[in-house]
Amino acid sequence: MILAVVCFMALFSCSVARAESGYVDTHIHLDPMAMVRQKGPSLARGPRGPGRSRGGSQVSYADMAENIIALMDEMGVAKAILVPPPQVPSQQGVKSTYEACVLAAAYYPKRLLLGAGGDSLNTLIYSYAADEVTPEVKALFRMEAERLVKSGIVVFGEMSALHLSMAEKHIFSQVEPDHPLFLLLADIAAENSIPIDLHMEAVPEDIPTPESLLRISSRNPTVLKANIAGFERLLTHNPKAKIVWQHIGWDNIGYMTTGLIRGLLERHHNLYLALRVEHRQEKVDQSGPMPNRIVDRDWKVHPEWIRLILDFPKRVVIGSDEFMGLARRNARPKDSFLETWSILKEFPGEIASVIGRDNALRIYNGEDG
């Protein structure tokens, strides 16, 4: 196993050295442990921001930004979009906020772009049932969304329609993908040519929750509600709204197949995929292999995924979903950054550039409608 990991690292290092630079990661987060070590934005002192910059237990926003950039450089990533994870009203503990992302990104504004809504818009969606959404609620939601647009964001995210709990302290959240506020967000996204990043496990019909998920967290319900039909209603509500389905290749239920995804791409030209490969190869409770993973145990992309990507080359981007900022310059990315970017070595250089850079620049710069 150790030899296999060493070989994988060596192969990937060589591929990055040969690859054309300038990739764009559409989806990263601030490491929550780095947030724990913050004293808070109000305590910022001097050019390195809050806390001590070196040699202490605290990490400044400047340090966090430098650590992110160092890892990006290692992988040939020129730009990344920093977004707060999806949050809900009942959530407790440390929260990664848009304001924190702004403070970190300010040190490298040309390389760290900003998304927003996971901490504010997502919370509003989960605050109101569909039949509780009044004109006043819609006005409040639109006001917050337009405030974020004016602040210069490039994506609404990370939004969530189904977020599974992966540990007892990890949140579970589920809401209809065609919730009235999601439909309103699609309209606002279309008006401003700003895409929506959506976190959603695929559930074609109501199903019993897999035992592996019930074993790892009591927060997961015994039944998961169907969401694909609602997802298609969201996609058709405003065809000018670009929806980027994040974490494709990270399937914790078993229905995110290439067949399902192919059908959605064929029917909805405003749907895009953000690929992710996690280091973990097993189900979260280690009871078997992760279903519908993009790569096999030798880190080679499965043929059916290669066919899907090559059939829809302009609809695919990379979103590593890595939590970054705490690791030092010499640390390897911990969960998905290296593994996700490694899949580009499986494609010809021109295709790697399209899915690793060109699509993101087009979709997130408002040029794809």
What does each of the 369 residues of the chain score in pLDDT, given as a tens digit? Answer: 333 333 433 333 433 333 345 999 999 999 877 665 554 443 233 334 443 334 445 678 999 999 999 889 988 999 999 999 999 998 766 677 999 999 999 999 999 999 999 999 999 999 999 999 999 999 999 999 999 999 999 999 999 999 999 888 888 999 999 999 999 999 999 999 999 999 999 999 999 999 989 999 999 999 999 999 999 999 999 999 999 999 999 999 999 999 999 999 999 999 999 999 988 887 777 778 888 999 998 999 999 999 999 999 999 999 999 998 886 645 555 578 989 999 999 999 999 999 999 999 999 985 554
In a domain, 344, yes or no: yes
Structural domain containing residue 332: 23-363
* pLDDT at residue 33, as a whole number: 72
- Pick the closest to residue 102 from 68, 67, 129, 65 (CA basis): 65
Residue 292 in domain? yes
Cα(348)–Cα(369) distance, rounded to whole angstroms?
A: 27
Task: Extract the tokens encoding 208.
Answer: 């019993």
Give the phi and the psi of residue 338 in degrees, each rounded to 5.
-65, -45
Rounded distance between C-alpha atoms, residue 61 and residue 104, angstroms: 5
> What is the value of pTM for the model shown?
0.88
- Are 251 and 292 in contact by the 8 Å Cβ rule? The answer is yes
**Within 13 Å, how many C-alpha atoms sit on residue 153's CB side?**
29
Q: Domain for residue 137, yes or no?
A: yes
- Domain contains 29: yes
pLDDT of residue 38: 53
Residue among 159, 60, 156, 153 at smallest CA distance from 112: 153
Beta bridge partners of 29: 323
What b-and-e string marks burial along 146-174, b requiring 16 or more CB atoms within 10 Å of the CB? eebbeeebbbbbbbbbbbbbbeeeebbbb
The answer as to whether 4 is a domain residue is: no
In a domain, 11, yes or no: no
Domain count, the chain: 1
Inter-residue contact 25 to 318 (CB < 8 Å): yes
- CATH code of 306's domain: 3.20.20.140
> Is residue 285 in some structural domain?
yes
Q: Measure the CA–CA gap between 53 and 55, rounded to whole angstroms.
A: 7
Please tell me the predicted confidence (pLDDT) of residue 40. Answer: 47
CA distance 231 to 186: 12
What is the pairing mode between strands 207-208 and 271-275?
Answer: unpaired
Residue 302 Cα distances to 49, 254, 258, 298, 327, angstroms: 45, 16, 11, 10, 31
In this structure, is residue 15 part of a structural domain?
A: no
